[in-house]
Amino acid sequence: SLPGGGPQKAGVAIADLMTGMYTTVAVLAALAHRERTGIGQYIDMALLDVQVAMLANMGSNYLTSGRPPQRWGNAHQNIVPYQAFQTSDGWIILAVGNDAQFRKFVQVGGRPELADDARFATNPERVRHREALVPIVADMVKARGKREWIELLEAVGVPCGPINDLAEVFDNEQVQARGMRVSVPHPSGAQAALVRNPIVMSETPPQVRTAPPMLGEHTEEVLRGLLGYDGAAIADLRARAVI
């Protein structure tokens, strides 16, 4: 978050999701080890450990400098301009990764003199003069629309991208071409819209076979098939409102 804005939560459960990802890697590594040695092992995964590990360059910045990074909102700590900017009709993320890209960006924006300004000519100077440069870039970006900026910057090799809401995400032609939205029959009689597993494999691709179950849909199946409960025991559970 920006300075003074208070701590901000992410929109999704990042620690939970990333711990699952790391755990998958650990399980695969353990399986490979067992295949070679015949020895299994205990895997210990902690949400806290993963949150520390995934700090990436922020963690490295602190460990090498001894200075905790300050809040910069959507801005990059080490590269400028590298953050979200508002266009005339929406938002884009601009990722000017080096001096050559900065020169191309300001030329497209109609301010080529900025690349020769001593305050902005190199990335270390742009970082040092961030507070002077960012308002200039913000005014420049507001002069055009989101799609126009994307087309202009992609043409000269300056990394950028639109910031889409979820309606725009699922309307995106690439998202549609990749089949990220799938529809499966639901027990209610309707079609359930789901997000496809992002893994694509040539021989064993993941498949969406069933929709999310109704509440309690498989309770009796689990009790009978996995736990060995008979009809009388299940009826007793229902009578006591356990299930």
**C-alpha to C-alpha distance for 243 and 236, rounded to whole angstroms:** 9
**C-alpha to C-alpha distance for 82 and 76, rounded to whole angstroms:** 5
- What end-to-end distance do the CA atoms of the chain give, in Å? 45
**C-alpha to C-alpha distance for 105 and 96, rounded to whole angstroms:** 8
- Write the CA distances from 17 to 11, 49, 178, integer angstroms: 12, 13, 22
Concerning whether 16 is annotated as a catalytic residue, the answer is yes
Q: Is the peptide bond before 135 cis (omega within 30 degrees of 0)?
A: no
Closest CA to 54 of 83, 8, 19: 19
**C-alpha to C-alpha distance for 41 and 33, rounded to whole angstroms:** 9
**DSSP strand pairing (160-162 vs 91-95):** antiparallel
Q: List the catalytic residue out of 16, 49, 89, 165.
A: 16
Closest CA to 163 of 106, 77, 95: 95
Q: Which two tokens stand for residue 168?
A: 């725009």
Question: Annotated catalytic sites, by residue?
Answer: 16
